[in-house]
Amino acid sequence: MKKVLFIGLGHMGSALIKGILKNSNNNVEIFGYDAIKETQQKAIKNMEGLKSLKKLSEIQDKNIDFIVIGTRPIDVEPLCKEIDELDINKKTIICMANAVTIDNIQNCFINNKDVAVIRMMPNMNASIQKSVTALASKNASIEVMKFVTEMFQLCGLVENVSEDKFGTLTAISGCSPSYVISFFKAMTDYAIKSGFEKEQAFRIIEQVIIGSAMNASKSEVPLRTVVDQICVPNGSTIEGQKILDNKNFEQIVQEALLAADKKATN
């Protein structure tokens, strides 16, 4: 059984751990560590099956196989240099910090030049096993990539993406849950203000969004054609669609994605 340590037990790290531990056949031993001990204690208390490290030196003592770094980007380099003081050759570093490249991480390991490095980008839906998790590596073996892929498939969909696409990937997958939830909030807020109970509004609009996305992904015609087909002349749909078009709704969404993409790339 492989041993996996998650360093950083905030929202994203905890979401991934929850997704993995929900599957009783996960075949991994999960450890957690956070520099903020209150955060670590809360995570250990709330997630059955999660073990803890008291200090990073235990990585060597417990023979951890995979180290998943989920800290702030600014903390990655000093953390990696601290880990490099241990004997972790042949181990694997998996980093999900935004805009931190594989080379950035590899360059931190002077004493342990044989560590494999994987860059990853999940999203918050990992906790309900509906994440999209992207992986990229330059030196990880096929066996290592297979294990990591299968582990994160417990949290949802896994995609192999070249590292030069990670900025865009971050925008359309890592950041987009915020934008989708904003859209969901606007719709449910309107329904609730119009007299619907919250639970019913959530249930209806959840199904509409999921169903519409699935329908669109299977379309054999351009998506704008699908929109035009739904917008019957003189009907209700077209009146609302006129507002979206006049306000440049699609352009606004793409501007948001571009801003996120640029931030993730730089």
Q: What's the CATH code of the domain at 84?
A: 3.40.50.720
Residues 131-154: what's their mean pLDDT? 95
Domain count across the chain: 2
Asked if pLDDT for residue 27 goes beyond 90, the answer is: no
Binding residues: 7-12
Domain range holding 204?
Answer: 169-265
Calculate mean pLDDT across residues 188-198: 98
Strands lying side by side in the sheet with 116-121: 51-52, 28-33, 2-7, 66-69, 92-95, 116-121, 131-137, 156-160
Place of tokens 């807020």: 189
pLDDT digits (tens, 9 = 90+) for 85-126: 999 999 999 999 988 999 999 999 999 999 999 999 999 999
Q: What is the mean pLDDT of residues 150-175?
A: 94
For residues 153 and 176, membership in a common domain is answered with no
Beta pairing, strands 116-121 & 92-95: parallel
Tell me which residue has tokens 């044989």.
114
| Same domain as 66, residue 98 | yes
- pLDDT (0 to 100) of residue 162: 93
Whether residue 198 has pLDDT greater than 80: yes
Average pLDDT of the residues in 47-62: 94
Is the confidence at residue 265, as pLDDT, over 90?
A: no
Q: Which of 109, 127, 161 is the last residue of a domain?
A: 161
Q: What is the mean pLDDT of residues 203-207?
A: 98
Strand 116-121 relative to strand 131-137, pairing = antiparallel
Query: Which string of DSSP letters, residue by residue, matches 65-103?
Result: -EEEE-S-HHHHHHHHHHHTTS--TT-EEEE--TT--HH
Q: Which tens digit of pLDDT belongs to each residue from 66-92?
A: 999 999 999 999 999 999 999 999 999
Task: Give bridge partners of residue 188 from the DSSP assignment.
Answer: none
| Sign of the CA dihedral running 63, 103, 54, 26 | negative
Q: Are residues 25 and 128 in the same domain?
A: yes
Domain check: are 145 and 207 in the same one?
no
* 109 and 216 co-located in one domain: no
What pTM did the predictor assign? 0.88
pLDDT for residue 199 is more than 80: yes
- Which CATH number fits the domain that encloses residue 189? 1.10.3730.10
Single out the residue in 112, 134, 161 at which a domain terminates: 161
Tell me if 64 sits within 8 A of 4, measured CB to CB.
Answer: yes
**Comparison of pLDDT for 115 and 266, the residue scoring more:** 115
For residue 266, pLDDT over 80 is answered with no
Q: What is the mean pLDDT of the chain?
A: 95
Domain finish residue from 161, 191, 219:
161
Residues 70 and 138 in one domain: yes
Query: What is the rounded average pLDDT of the residues 194-203?
Result: 98
Could you list the residues known to form a binding site for NADP(+), using ranges.
7-12
pLDDT at position 144 is 96
Assign 254 a pLDDT band (cuts: 50, 70, 90).
very high
d(CA 140, CA 150): 15
Note the pLDDT of residue 24. Answer: 78
Give the three-state DSSP class for 134: strand
